Structure 1
Amino acid sequence: MQQMTNHRPLAELDLLDDFLFNALLAYPEYGKKFCRKFLKILFGREFKNLNIVTQKSYGGRDTGLHGARLDVYIEEGDEVEIDSSNVSAIYDIEPDKNNKRKDIDFIAQRTRFYHAIIDSRSLKSGQSYDKLKRVFVIFICPYDPFGDDRMIYTIRNP
């Protein structure tokens, strides 16, 4: 029995397609250049020391717990100053082409979950909470997830 696949020609893909997005970022020189430019547009500053990991997976703590696969996980070097102490930042970039209402409705919870997973793995045992890294979960969507006719939404957690 022949298995059916959903392969599409490269010409039909855009950067929101997982394959093309991850293929671009897998090449260090292009991936870093893209991430620097993308983050500069969003945050209005230069980004120099970036460590980029495509398809970073976090398994559940056991077989009964949900894990996550982050499309692009970026760690920024210790050049970010917060309250006069150098703290590195983590950026998770998620191209999201979900077109199912239930997936769109839960994007805020998905963001919260990804943020929590990153937080839970970024603080070493015995470290103070002030060492917790700043985390930015960024969804790139071809739709308006909250229906307020905006291109960029910022949701802040303490």
Structure 2
Amino acid sequence: MKRIKDWEELTIQDNFLFLKVMQNKRLCQHLIEKILQIKIADITYPDTEKTIDIRLDSKSVRLDVYVKDDTGRVFNIEMQCSDDQSSGLAKRTRYYQAMIDMDMLKKGEVYNQLRPSYIIFICTFDAFDEGLPMYTFRNRCVEKDGLELGDEATKIFLNSKGDSEALDPDIRAFLRYVDGKAAEGAFVQALDTEVKAIKQHKETRREYMTLAMELKRQRQFGREEGREEGREEGRQEERLKMILAMLQDGVAKETIAKYAKVSVDYITELGKKNHLL
């Protein structure tokens, strides 16, 4: 089980810090533009961390950085640090794509109204062991080389261990930075400045410390639960205490939902019931 880092140890690789940095609209937009080599007039954040839960009996997804541009294109960006085969990165993009499309297409709309979508995984490892710094996947015809399906769905895996002179200079410097190297170039230096500013922010530090404390308590409780049966009621009570404590500390509902493994609606209802929202 991965160790929960102290606040001082966090880098751009850590999901909590990466999400905070990507809330800087200018930096997020520039990163997307450089990865995809496109121009974007403006981006919006439908949710800090978008939760999609189509059916009660289906697996919901929480998209870490989910933004839309002025033309309706959607972009999901995630930092991936686990090279565990069980994480199923490739099939996760397949599921994300399905859920994004179902969320995007409202009842009564035709399929042509689906907007282009991009799922971007920034990996601290080479997901395909081919030595490339970037892998771009689109649906193509097996029988005819160069014939694309044209469904406008794109999946991209960046590899911080890879390098190529053909890469955009900003992305090349960004990958080195993710890999722990010094910040080079105006864009990555701006990212590094944002990282340092966030780490000086007392409220953000407090939010992370609350999360870390509750995650550690959850893990400890999980170990105890494994040794004893019949503690479901106690587990639910412990989760409730965790959620209320995080609400009191001003942690975002989406963040609480992610770590408590419940829906945002449940967090909202609980917060209102306890006069915390």
Q: Same fold (TM over 0.5)?
A: yes
The yes-or-no answer on 1:69 pairing with 2:66 is no
CA drift of 1:21 comes to: 1.2
Amino acid at match of 1:9: W
Query: Does 2:51 align with 1:57?
Result: yes
How big is each residue's C-alpha offset from its partner over 1:111-135, in whole Å with a ceiling of 9 and x where there is no partner? 0111110000101111111111111
Q: Aligned-pair distance for 1:9?
A: 2.6
> Partner of 1:9 in structure 2?
7
Aligned equivalent of 2:35: 42
Percent identity over the alignment is 30
Give ranges in structure 2 of 5+ residues lacking alignment: 140-150, 152-277
Q: Which amino acid aligns with 2:55?
A: R
What residue is the counterpart of 2:159 in the other structure? Answer: none
Aligned pair partner of 1:120 in 85, 97, 102: 102
Question: What amino acid maps onto 2:51 in structure 1?
Answer: S
Of structures 1 and 2, the larger Rg is shown by 2
Structure 2 residue corresponding to 1:33, chosen from 5, 26, 29: 26
1:62-115 CA-to-partner distances (Å, cap 9, x unmatched) read 1x321111000011112xxxxxxxxx2100001111132322xx2110001111
Q: Are 2:35 and 1:23 aligned?
A: no
Q: Give the distance between the partners of 1:17 and 1:91, measured in 2 at CA.
A: 20
- The answer for the alignment partner of 1:96 in structure 2 is 80
Larger relative contact order (Cα-Cα within 8 Å, sequence gap ≥ 6): 1
Partner of 1:84: none
| Equivalent position to 1:129, from 111, 119, 122 | 111
CA distance in 1: counterparts of 2:54 and 2:26, whole angstroms: 32
Contact 2:50 2:63 in 1 (8 A): yes
In 1, Cα distance between the equivalents of 2:131 and 2:34?
19
Letter in 2 for 1:34: L
Number of residue pairs aligned between Structure 1 and Structure 2:
137
Q: TM-score, normalised by structure 2?
A: 0.47
Give yes or no for contact 2:75–2:120 (8 Å, CA) kept in 1: yes
Q: Which has the higher helix share?
A: 2
Q: Separation in 2 of the partners of 1:36 and 1:90?
A: 12
Separation of aligned partners in 1, 2:102 and 2:133: 30
1:49 and 1:23 map into 2 onto residues whose CA distance is: 19
What 5-or-longer segments of structure 1 have no aligned partner?
79-87
